[in-house]
Chains A and B, each alone.
Chain A
Amino acid sequence: MRLKCLIAGTVMAGTLAGAALPAFAVDELHVPLFSYRTGPYAGSGIPIANGMHDYLTMLNERDGGINGVKIRVTECETGYDTQKGVECYEQVKGDGALVISPYSTGITLQVIPKASVDKIPVLSMAYGLSAAAEGNTFPWVFNPPDTYWDGASAIVTDIARREGGAENLKGKKIGYIFLDAGYGREAIPLLEQLSSDMGFELMQYPVAGKEMQNQSSQWLNIRRDRPDYMIMWGWGAMSPTAVKEATKIRYPMDKFYGVWWSGGNDDAAAGGDAAKGYRTLNFHGVGSDFGAIQDIKKFVVDAGKSEVDPAKFADNLYNRGVYNSMLIAEGIRKAQELTGKTVIDATDMRNGLENLDITEARLKEMGMEGFALPMKLSCEDHSGHHKVYVVEWDGKDWQKSGDWFSPDVDMVKPLLKKAAEEYAASNAPWPERTEACLN
């Protein structure tokens, strides 16, 4: 009996393995999404994945895809784990993927060197390697609308504005609490530079990934050090924990800044009423009063084609997912326009993203007037260093606080250039750009 079981088991396993070969189809645009709806980062990952997925589904439902070609959206679960991310990358690479959205700085760092070899563009929207904004060094990587260094610079700019000028920052203490991983460390070089330029003291409070939900020791130190401002680079379960701890030590919340990724509704809501005043950066609209968002509601959510919890529809991170998918869709549209084909490949997609030019008129046409600012990329600049604004938590929702303003681009750009050169040198021989520039 045992032998039969053994044979039967082997045969079954074999069939399953055989069935696992990917199927190919034609006339479609394959957009894989690396998502994480499981694990400690799911709190941030779910709204992002829903927003991205729903916008693309809406285009399929409303317009029948992009210029008549359906988008095939696939999700690959990474759990924010770099190993699984690489596995996902290998999986979609052979499946006609047009663009990779890793949604993790760690995974982005892993796929950057691979992408230029496999000729697949990586769209790390406002995350990933800041230096990747240098299009001549990283022709296959895009990080619009802003890099982390822009983010750090923007926060310090806003603090300087409130203090009445950059010169008043001298002698101030600014604390930096960050996820101790590729993501949180990305901003450190710039903050250190700013601290030596402006004369404020930078105090670092790293939070290990495993200890995200236990930050009492860090906040104990913060209570002792009493920094004048706090900046947070948090993601997943880290952000709500930090907000809660900050309210516990009665840190003045209006002096607590998060980067755009720490701006989930659930992140701020964790602090309850006491979290009022907590602020994060943003580069897209909040709420559902936009044509495109209403279309998603009509064609996707109300039609039961979405996984989103209706109560969390159009929250801040959901809208960010929508914004990200809008960039993907516009990249595809631009690539179709440039090549004259409707079915494009990853190389065309790269050109499409590089020549991305979203005008005010185009935003209006998409139903995104007021949702986002016009943006434009070029061969040299894959990020654009666009304007951002600050949103403030009012206890229930995010409210716009102040106007759109620009990060200190003149300061960030040369540093990015230097960082890109360093990256290329330490990864020598780094391939020279051979892709033609179309703009």
Chain B
Amino acid sequence: MLYRESGQYKTSYTADQAIFPIREDRIGMGIIGVIALAIPFFVSDFFLNAIMTPFLILALAAIGLNILTGYAGQLSLGTGAFMGVGAYSCYKLTTIFPDANIVILVLLSGLFSAGIGVLFGLPSLRIKGLYLAVTTLAAQFFLEWCFIRIPWLYNYNASGAIEVPERRGFGDIILTGPSAAPMTQYFIVLAIVVVVTLAVKNIVRGRIGRQWMMIRDMDIAAELMGVRPLTAKLSAFAVSSYLCGVAGAMFIFFYLGAAEPSAFSITLSFQILFMVILGGLGSLVGSFFGAAFIWGLPIVLRAGFPALGIGIGAETVFHIATMIVGALIIFFLIVEPHGLARLWSLGKEKLRVWPFPYG
């Protein structure tokens, strides 16, 4: 009734190939867009700062991993380290060029991460699956070691942490540092995530994305049909690491404000991997679902118990939230192994025939 594509005829190839060919989807996206733009005016700084901004950033990181694992089929456990490369290169860039606009530096820092990603992606030409996961794990440990042991990376700071300096831009608005308004940071993150996601969506639908999927589904067949594994695999590593690098730089500059090397540990890699698996491999919208679930649920649970008047200790809430999140992950994967994205598309299919289902 509400969601039906009958009667919508495409009269041109452009219309047929649009990202959202169905009118209701476009309306839906419009509504989400309006909500995303309006939300900072209605919620508290805590909601914006501790939930929305990191959610968007982690969604971008999940998209990055999804390119590699979901689209190109190369399992990676080095996401956290690649995010770290982005963060540390952005920090170095902004201390070397203090006057450059930080948004441009964030986007540039992804290139360093992409370079490192390609380097550690080279073994993927010879090995697959779990064996590749082990080499990316090596990347994780090696890069983490670099963040601790190469003082040049953190400008010889005595505590070994990087601290985000204040940077202004776009007509003297404070963009980073402690005085930056949460709203400014949210809008910058939103803009970057939306633009990059659209770009990625188009890459994935195009020739390059199809190459990735061919490699994923059957690399020998893909090779016989003229796909070069070298370019396809390494481009997947490059794009994936670029996105992770940008996400990592934003994580430090627009969310945390300072970071120790431990912020980019294997825990972060796993967190992002869970987002991708739970959200749905090979789905961009799934990356957003996964990020919202893994990042948002513990916070909602932790804030929710005391608000409901259940007076239990902070650590009990913490334990319960951990258990619930763990149980829900298992539950969702049993009920829907293809992740939340599949659940979403099932929901849409049901909605098409609602309220008179057939078959």
Contacts and interface: CB of A to CB of B under 8 A. Distances in A.
A180 B303 contact: no
B263 to A, nearest CB: 6
A157 interface: no
Interface of A: 2-3, 6, 13, 16-17, 19-23, 35-38, 74-77, 79, 82-83, 86-87, 90-91, 93-94, 105-106, 109-110, 113-114, 116-118, 129, 180-182, 185-186, 188-189, 208-210, 307, 419, 426-429
Contacts of B303: 20, 22, 91
B188 interface: no
B307 A21 contact: yes
Contact of A181 (B50, B260, B301): B260
Consensus secondary structure, chain A interface: helix
B260 A427 contact: no
B7 to A, nearest CB: 23
B260 A182 contact: yes
Consensus secondary structure, chain B interface: helix
Closest 3 CB pairs of A and B: A37-B315, A75-B314, A20-B303
9 contacts: A3-B350, A6-B343, A21-B44, A22-B46, A75-B314, A75-B315, A82-B263, A181-B262, A182-B260
B313 A37 contact: yes
Contact of A110 (B148, B155, B256, B350): B256
Interface of B: 44-46, 49-50, 148, 155, 157-161, 163, 165-166, 177-179, 255-260, 262-263, 265, 299-304, 307-308, 313-315, 317-319, 343, 346-347, 350-351, 354
A75 B319 CA distance: 14
A79 B318 contact: yes
B318 A77 contact: yes
Given A83-B256, A91-B50, A210-B265, A182 B315 contact: no
A118 B265 CA distance: 29
Contacts, number: 129
A23 B309 CA distance: 11
A50 to B, nearest CB: 11
B158 A38 contact: no
B347 A110 contact: no
Contact of A117 (B179, B302, B351): B179
A94 B46 contact: yes
Contacts of B317: 77
Contacts of B161: 106, 109, 182
B273 to A, nearest CB: 17
A116 B178 contact: yes
A322 B33 CA distance: 51
A113 B260 contact: no
A208 B261 CA distance: 11
A186 B155 contact: no
B321 to A, nearest CB: 9
